[in-house]
Structures are given as structure tokens and as C-alpha cells.
A = this chain, B = another copy of it.
């Protein structure tokens, strides 16, 4: 008997992270990391979990957007392989009325991503494989069939994508074994939140190096004097051999970025992340061309069309995919293929709640079956909120361990869900009483 998707439930979950200034940066001083959390259920008893990540306010809008996708999911066959997952992705992103709300950007697109990712979780759980291995078991033809090439063919055709994937096929098994043995390199942002004082920055930077990380990241972008001091302290704390990446979180105009990066360059920053608007392809290209620090971006890039142009314009040294902003695994597969075509390494954005859990699968699949390389590649790691997941991401000695549990590592503990429901879970009932 074929299994059918019978329900799509969505919940508004929020974590009061603003109380410790975890996650604070130049544009987001006090986020409450949140998830519009979706569960797909089937008549066979299987479940698929996924989510939109948000910063708190507006999480209910993401939940409403996910709920609007129910008619595209319920009654469909429970996804099993590439054909089902390709069809579902297209149904969710190409509805002729819903697309007016984007197209393919913002809340509606993030909601599609949450549902697509939940479907991948469901399919991988049914197959008994973690998503990275489930993906890496698909043929080049199946992988190409998952991608929506609309608007991409001036940069990447299906035939070119197929050739890339076939070229990477022979080494798949060896690379999967290597991943299982030694994991995937990580860097940590935990020391660098803008709201942390200097002592905490130095202590956490030293702990990161002791813990095996070879790269850390600092949030910057407000006061240049503060940025220079924090960069100097971090450099002194970690020594010359550890990479220090900087993240301006979209704080600057192009001229600001050029001036400030010239001042910071003597401390040898590894990359500057989001120097300006994530929509500003030409701005990123101007920043990359006008100063010596390498440029990274992507966590707020709305879709594959913008990634395509960042690559066409030579605007980035590193592509930072995010697992929960574009339309799920399928669209991130398009971005991985574009990056491979242009020879630009992918260094995923993570952190938030659950983003490390999801994106590790995509980076590991990229290594096994697309780029075939770890060179210049690291996955972000932030040590927050992992305890709420049934199969949390594990980083040891500065490397992500390859997940082994079936699925997308997206599932939260039922107790965490119950506690963090907004506004009626116990975590929020007490706080909202206090605030009113």
C-alpha cells in the first residue's frame, strides 16, 4: 500500500535567547531564536519534521505561510524518492497565485523551504538514511531532476550539471568513508557576538582554539574603534595561525565597507561576511574588487537567481548557503551545482536554532557527490540550543561528525516543543506575565 501524507501541523516555537545577547550582531541586537515548526504525518505512521528559522517577532507570519501550503501536501503520496521530492518542490514554489507573494523570496519562500525540508526528512527516515547519505545515493540523473533550472540556464544547463555530477561519481564511496572517519571542518562564531564584552570574547576565543577550531568569527559593523579593538584582542588571543572571519551582517553601504575594511585589513581577517545588502550583487562585487579582504555572503540570499548572479558577477569568494531560507534541499542543490560550476567553495551559514543540524547534511553531500573537495570549506558552528534536538549536531575537535541517524536531524524533543510554544508554553507564559 502506498503511504499518503495526511496532515501538516505547524507550531510557533520561540527561545528567549535575547536575555543573554546570544546571537547579537550589528543589525539584530536582541534576537529570540525561533522556529515555525512543521510536522508532516502519513497514514503509515511516518513523520517528517522541518522549520523556518526566524528571530522571534513575525514567527507567527511564517507559521501562517506554512499553513497556507497544506493543500499542496495533504493527500500526496508520502515522498520516497527523487521523483516525489521534485514534484512536491515544484508544487510548492510554482503555484500561480501564491507566487505573487514573492516570487521565490521572503516569508512564502521560507515556508516552502520548511515544508520541502520536512518532506526530505520524511523520505530519508523512510529510507533509513541520514539526508546526506540519502542524497549521495541518488544518481546524477535523479539529482538533476530535483533542480528547477528556470532562470539558471544562462549560467548552468542541466547537461552541465549532469557532467559535474558524473565527474564526481567515482570518488563518492571513498569520500563518504572519509567523512565517517574524520568528519567535516567547522568554525565557531560563539566567541564573537556583538553584545559580549571584551573579557568574554577573549575567553571564548581561547577556548575555541583549545577546543580544536582553526577558524573563529567576530560580529562587527557598528563602531569602527570597537571593531579594531575587538579584532586586535581576538588576534592576540588566538595567535597568527588561526583564521578570524568578520561578519558585518549587512550593516554598511559600499563606501563604508571599503573604508572600514581598509582599516581592518592589517589584522588579517579571513573574510568579510555580508558587508552590505544581501540583494546587492553589484555592491558585493564592488566591495570584493575594492579592498583586500575576501567576501562571503548567502545566509540572506533569497533564491538561486541571486546566487547565480553573485557568481556571474565575481562578487564572492565563498558561497554561504543556509538550509532554511531558500526552498529547501532542492534549491540548495541548485546553489551547490552553481558554486561547483564557478569553482567557488561553499561554507554554510549555521547557528540559530537547528541550522547546524540541517546544513551539515548539505555540506557533506556536497563533498561526497558535487564538489568532491574540502579545500577552503568550513561549516559554521554555534553552540546554542542543540539540546532541544533528538539528534543534535556533534562537533568534536573542530569538526562536525557525520550524522548517522535517519532523516534530516530536524526533530525536536516533545518536551522542548511543549515548553517553547509561543505565547502559551511555560517558558513564555511566565515571561509575558512579567513584561505586561
Contacts and interface: CB of A to CB of B under 8 A. Distances in A.
Interface of A: 27-32, 53-58, 60-62, 64-65, 68, 95-110, 150-154, 250, 253-255, 276-283, 286, 300, 302-303, 305-306, 308-309, 312-313
A123 B262 CA distance: 45
A97 B277 contact: no
A96 B276 contact: no
A152 B109 CA distance: 26
Given A61-B61, A280-B309, A28 B97 contact: yes
A106 to B, nearest CB: 1
Contacts of A110: 101
A255 B58 CA distance: 39
Nearest to A63: B64
Contacts of A308: 280
Contact of A57 (B29, B31, B98, B104): B98
A56 B97 contact: yes
Given A58-B101, A153-B253, A282-B312, 18 more contacts: A28-B100, A54-B97, A54-B101, A56-B97, A60-B64, A60-B68, A101-B107, A105-B279, A106-B302, A151-B279, A151-B280, A153-B255, A279-B305, A280-B305, A281-B282, A282-B309, A282-B313, A302-B302
Contacts of A109: 106
A74 B250 CA distance: 29
A253 B305 CA distance: 11
Given A31-B96, A305-B280, A107 B54 contact: no
A60 B71 CA distance: 14
B97 A57 contact: yes
Given A29-B96, A105-B105, A279-B105, A253 B65 contact: no
A54 B154 contact: no
A95 to B, nearest CB: 6
